[in-house]
Amino acid sequence: MLSLLFAASLFVTQAPDTAHVVLVATTDVHGRATAWDYLADRAAPGGLTRVATVVDSLRRRFPGQVVVLDAGDMLQGNAFAAYQARQGRRQPNPIVEAMNLVGYDAATPGNHDFDWGLPELERALADAAFPYVSANLFRVPSDSLLVSAFRVLRRGPIRVGVTGFTTPGVTVWDGDRLRGRIRVGRIEAAAGRTFAAMRGSSDLVVALAHSGVAGPSSYDTTGVGAEDVAGTFATMKARPDVVIVGHSHDEIRDSTLGEVRYVQPKPYAASVAVVHVDMVRPPGREWQVGRIRGELVSTAEVTPSAVVEQRLRPAHDAVREWVGEAVGMAIAPMPAATGRAMITPVVDWMLDVQRRRAGATLAAGPVFDLRAGVPGDTIHRRDLLRLYPYENTLRAVKISGAQLKDYLERSARYFRVDAAGRISINDSMPGYDFDLVHGARYDIDLRQPIGSRIRNLAVGDRPVAPSDSFTMALDSHRQSGAGGYSMVAHAPVVYDRGEWIRELLEEDLARHRLDPLHVVTSNWRIVPAMAESAVFKIYGIESEPLPVSRGDSLLLRVFGTAGLHGRLESVGALAHAMDSLAARCECPTLRLDGGGAVTGRGAGGGAATGRGGTGTVTAGGSGMGVGAAGRTAAGGGARPGRGAAGGGATLGGAAAGGGGSRIISLRQIRVLGRLALS
């Protein structure tokens, strides 16, 4: 009897006809080891500590059947990751330690895993208690694989083959860190070979694709493989059964292409892909894939694993302390919120630091995060991490006037105008690809078609000719041509010392207090005024409600400028300072210029009559007075960052209109002096 039972169980284990494998996957975790937002200093959804809880519960429910995978972009992307790479240097890297504690079975590197350089990635690979796989990363010059092309993991009777691919875009974005060390092959070629090889040794073939499903590449693909090609796996002769997609930060719950199943969990470990695979073996045949069911499990409500949290505690505490350190001072709040609509001091500060450091005439760059900015007192490192969240280094290129125009035209595609003239944001272009160029003067004319929107382009008050030559500071990412800026990809690089831009900003803050009045502002705007207003509206830049005076007493705050020396570059900062002072006073304000003759030529303009609109400004040489009529109280309030000195005659206007800030178009100011506040 006993031997019969033994024989039966032996029979069952040797030849089961069904089996079950549970694939659990994350991708684009970007440093979220802990469930903490270090910039806001509070608990956050997502994080590997929560993933650990999900994995633990699946392992309890499906013992011996779970395979935990990651599709790349793990080691970079938040303060926790930046601290480990640049400051803490703990061994093992706490992010990899978290992966070890979760119990990952395999992972593939993403493009951002190379951001800290190859030695840092190799340290992480060495710390990992699980194998990394990649079929298209090769060492140079030996042309040997950086890590195994694939691994076969046993789950019960099933041989689960896992391979990985990294988008060739990494050679564009991190070219300097890879050159002479790593070659990234085209994914399609590597995939065809690898899947065919895996079929011989695997019952279930899984691909970790750090490459989106399909779509145009965000870089010039000449000599480089395409960026997002995971969809092509479905049409290959040897195909995978399941693809875990990464890189594109999209979400794919459970989708079939050809006969291949695709899933993509949310970035930042906000969700985990769970794929149940039923395997069947018909009598006398090999194992086959039966039913597949994919789902995404949100980690938002999941309690973080206490064990993993405790192990990460020292690193977590160190990062909190690091981001909370004071790195500088600002005399007034400088928010980035308006940076994609108008001249914004904090953006100009960042660009000007880069321009000066590189010794360039121009500096180009985007506003990464509209929630960023510095407070009007102590600046902490977390403010900088929000202002400049990426691990880019500073470079400068030599470009022609024609390339500069092309560059700005590319950027100006950020705005979409429909047939009815309605303006919206081009949602196929991320906000961080809308670059501003500091040091040049230009209008973005939204009446013009794409490719012809840049008007009145000048550098140093001289119109730009196509054959002109300029040096322009930019970050390493943009210099590679990323984001559709291929016109700079082959421009000669005249500055590249591998300096991290965020650290340069921090150094600048250590030298002096940040003062919006002393920021060299840029000089661009959206035209016509209606288009500008529409863009302002998109960004919630509304006219502030004006204070109402009580009775016949009126408190006025008067801002005066004097000593005009024709300095144009501080206008935006000046206006910004006046605006914030006006807002704090909550009283009507006047902006007066007392430098030289206050002729008040604009005196009779709209202000006096209480009509809205922009008055005329007389411009002359140094010391010429500025008489301006802007919007009256009836016509609206101050737009942040706009407006400047008003002429003496506007006093009448203020009284007539019941008080309010005088606003004139920034471009109409041609003279400016030192600011005196009274």
CB of 218 to Zn ion, least distance (A): 11
Of residues 110 and 605, the one with the C-beta less far from Zn ion:
110
475 in contact with Zn ion (CB under 5 A): no
Determine the Cα–Cα distance for residues 238 and 278; give it in Å rounded to an integer: 20
**Cβ burial 425-440 (10 Å sphere, 16+ → b, else e):** ebeebebbbbbbbbbb
Of residues 243 and 408, the one with the C-beta less far from Zn ion:
243
Q: Indicate which single residue of 49, 53, 111, 264 sits in contact with Zn ion (rule: CB under 5 A).
A: 111
- Which bin fits 66, alpha (ψ -120 to 50), beta or left (φ > 0)? beta
266 in contact with Zn ion (CB under 5 A): no
Tell me the H-state helices in 512-560: 529-538
Cβ within 8 Å of residue 636, ≥6 positions away:
543, 546, 612, 663
389 in contact with Zn ion (CB under 5 A): no
Four-CA torsion 194, 197, 201, 204, nearest 10 degrees: 40
CB of 228 to Zn ion, least distance (A): 10
Determine the Cα–Cα distance for residues 281 and 266; give it in Å rounded to an integer: 33
Of residues 134 and 614, the one with the C-beta less far from Zn ion:
134
477 in contact with Zn ion (CB under 5 A): no
Half-sphere exposure of 183 (CA within 13 A, CB side): 12
Site string for Zn ion, 244-263 (x = CB under 5 A): ---x----------------
CB of 260 to Zn ion, least distance (A): 21
Determine the Cα–Cα distance for residues 85 and 89; give it in Å rounded to an integer: 6
Q: Indicate which single residue of 45, 94, 110, 560 sits in contact with Zn ion (rule: CB under 5 A).
A: 110
Stretch that binds Zn ion, among 60-68, 73-81, 100-108, 293-301 (CB under 5 A): 73-81
Of residues 454 and 482, the one with the C-beta less far from Zn ion:
482
Stretch that binds Zn ion, among 27-35, 285-293, 320-328, 503-511 (CB under 5 A): 27-35
Locate 395 and state its tokens. Answer: 């470079």
Q: If we measure between CA atoms, which residue out of 398, 396, 406 comes closest to residue 359?
A: 396
Of residues 77 and 605, the one with the C-beta less far from Zn ion:
77
Stretch that binds Zn ion, among 43-51, 68-76, 150-158, 170-178 (CB under 5 A): 68-76
- Which bin fits 439, alpha (ψ -120 to 50), beta or left (φ > 0)? left
Of residues 170 and 330, the one with the C-beta less far from Zn ion:
170
Residue 159 · residue 170 · CB < 8 Å: no
265 in contact with Zn ion (CB under 5 A): no
28 in contact with Zn ion (CB under 5 A): yes
228 in contact with Zn ion (CB under 5 A): no
Residue 572 · residue 457 · CB < 8 Å: no
653 in contact with Zn ion (CB under 5 A): no
Is beta strand 158-166 parallel, antiparallel or unpaired with respect to 204-210? parallel
Residue 141: other Cβ atoms inside 10 A: 9
Strand order across the beta sheet in which 493-500 lies: 435-438, 362-366, 469-475, 393-400, 493-500
Residue count at the site for Zn ion (CB under 5 A)?
A: 5
User: Which stretches of 140-200 are assigned E, i.e. beta strand?
Assistant: 150-155, 158-166, 182-184
Of residues 110 and 640, the one with the C-beta less far from Zn ion:
110
Of residues 247 and 502, the one with the C-beta less far from Zn ion:
247
CB of 215 to Zn ion, least distance (A): 14
Of residues 39 and 170, the one with the C-beta less far from Zn ion:
170
Of residues 206 and 209, the one with the C-beta less far from Zn ion:
209
Residues 282-301 within binding reach of Zn ion (CB under 5 A):
none
Of residues 53 and 111, the one with the C-beta less far from Zn ion:
111
Of residues 81 and 334, the one with the C-beta less far from Zn ion:
81
Determine the Cα–Cα distance for residues 527 and 639; give it in Å rounded to an integer: 16
Of residues 268 and 349, the one with the C-beta less far from Zn ion:
268
155 in contact with Zn ion (CB under 5 A): no
**186 SS3 class:** coil
Residue 589: other Cβ atoms inside 10 A: 26
31 in contact with Zn ion (CB under 5 A): no
Site string for Zn ion, 311-350 (x = CB under 5 A): ----------------------------------------
174 in contact with Zn ion (CB under 5 A): no
Is beta strand 589-593 parallel, antiparallel or unpaired with respect to 557-564? parallel
Stretch that binds Zn ion, among 40-48, 72-80, 487-495, 665-673 (CB under 5 A): 72-80
Backbone angles phi, psi at 489, to 5 degrees: -60, -30
Backbone angles phi, psi at 130, to 5 degrees: -130, 160
CB of 27 to Zn ion, least distance (A): 7
Stretch that binds Zn ion, among 66-74, 353-361, 578-586, 608-616 (CB under 5 A): 66-74
CB of 78 to Zn ion, least distance (A): 12
Locate 477 and state its tokens. Answer: 């990412």
Q: Indicate which single residue of 21, 70, 73, 349 sits in contact with Zn ion (rule: CB under 5 A).
A: 73
CB of 28 to Zn ion, least distance (A): 4
Per CB under 5 A, residues contacting Zn ion are 28, 73, 110-111, 247
